[in-house]
Amino acid sequence: MPMDQAPNETWHEGMEVIAQYNFQGRSAEDLPFQKGDLLVILRATSDRMWYKACDARGREGMIPANYVQKRKVVTLHAMPWFHGKITRQQAEELLRPREDGLFLIRESSNYPGDYTLCVCHGGKVEHYRILYRDNQLTIDEEGFFKNLDELVKHYLNDADGLCTRLTRPVTKQGDNFVTVTPDEFKSGGWVIQKHDLHIGESIGKGDFGDVFKGTYKGQAVAIKQLKDKDRGEQSFLQEASVMTSLRHDNLVRLIGVVLSDTIFLVTEFMGKGNLVEYLRSRGRSVITKKDQINFATDTCAAMEYLESKNLVHRDLAARNVLVADDGTSKVSDFGLAKFGDFSQTGQKFPIKWTSPEALRENKFTSKSDMWSFGILLWEIYSFGRVPYPRIPLTDVVMHVERGYRMEAPEGCPPEIYTIMKQAWEIKPEDRPTFKTVLGKLNNLRAVTV
């Protein structure tokens, strides 16, 4: 049974909580709920034990605070000592001078899916294979760890069979890798139970998972199922961790995560699918100027929110914007999203949507997202055509660097094309902010019929 204890803080309007117990209600004013139900706080009351809330079906009523858990943001942990896919020889070059305990971790060259701990001792470098066994990591099959971060912390405190205790990492230059553990989703209140989920028809496929339509406690949801736990678990969990920090009407909302024999990311269901297919299948005969400015403004509002949180999306395109049954568009697919101004190596990016400096220098910022937004606007007003339709993919970068810019799509308002051209300024600092563009789009929306 729940403890008779109020939360340490006053919960505010719009906060999401998850039910930890069944609650039948004690009066007509109460809102009954089942364990696992998602509820949104509407307001506090004079009694800190009780809040007014609503459920997924829009029903409102009073709920006891000690029957529910506030959801917490799941944070990513930097791994500055992890260097990814480097060779044994490259690792040994990085580990100079050979001071005892100097270390780094790399992906195993000979055993895909495993890692290698490289440690200096006695003027040499020892290479220890880190085995991936039953979702845990081990060097000697005696000590097991949930992740690399936990393993490193252990051997920083105790050599425990290694040639020496780890002392100082060789830090990876540029963008650091990050990690997140399943346990953090449990403690954060994001784990939901598989038996509450009904998986229906397939509606899409991705690099790491397939997407299905389904229901969670009777609510329509989209379910992304991880294909290969050994290969894609971290990518999956990192996408989910980013989504735990986001709440905006024009961003696809994370419902929860299922941690079982595989991993499921459960999000709200968007009935009309992705924007590029929606534009192509309806075309000029169905989609109005009002629809187009709504798609543009909704997407820009989402990006202005991400910009304000210093979150870079990196993969903004019409294929990653989803359309709800009421026509609202929402930005989705945060698999490549990351906080801060950063560089990224070893990733493939969609050339036609990616800014020149991001392709040339691997430098991603809100300004590179703005370039992509300009391409997305062109998609909206060309009814889903592929950008740069007459230029071979291999030549796109060369043409753009030389100053080529796409012409306005047929029927595109001149004010929209002006925003596109501003988004495609070659110098990132010359491009507008999403906040500035949102103001212009809102003005255009007000006068578009």
- Share the mean pLDDT of the chain: 91
Q: Is 341 a catalytic residue?
A: no
Q: What is the tens place of the pLDDT at every residue in 15-30?
A: 999 999 999 999 999 9
**What pLDDT does residue 64 have?**
96
Residues 6+ apart with CB under 8 A from 296: 377, 380, 416, 441
> Which regions of 26-154 does DSSP assign to beta strands (E)?
38-44, 50-55, 60-64, 68-70, 77-79, 102-107, 115-121, 124-133, 136-138
Establish whether 194 is an annotated binding residue.
no
With vertex at residue 177, the alpha carbon angle to CA 173 and CA 183, rounded to the nearest 5 degrees, is 155
**What pLDDT does residue 346 have?**
44
Q: Which contacts qualify for 427-433: CB closer than 8 Å, 24 or more apart?
A: 428/355, 428/357, 428/365, 428/367, 428/368, 428/371, 429/367, 431/367, 431/370, 431/371, 432/370, 433/304, 433/307, 433/366, 433/370
Query: What are the b/e assignments for 170-192, b being 16+ CB within 10 Å?
Result: bebeebbbbbbbbebbeebbbbb
- CA dist 100 and 166 (Å) reads 8
**What pLDDT does residue 230 have?**
62
For residue 256, which phi and psi values (nearest 5 degrees)? 175, 180
Q: What is the tens place of the pLDDT at every residue in 390-449?
A: 999 999 999 999 999 999 999 999 999 999 999 999 999 999 999 999 999 999 999 998
Tokens 């990876």, located at residue: 172
Of 149, 298, 315, 369, catalytic:
315
Q: What is the tens place of the pLDDT at every residue in 209-237?
A: 889 999 999 899 999 998 876 667 878 88
- Residue 347 confidence (pLDDT) above 60: no
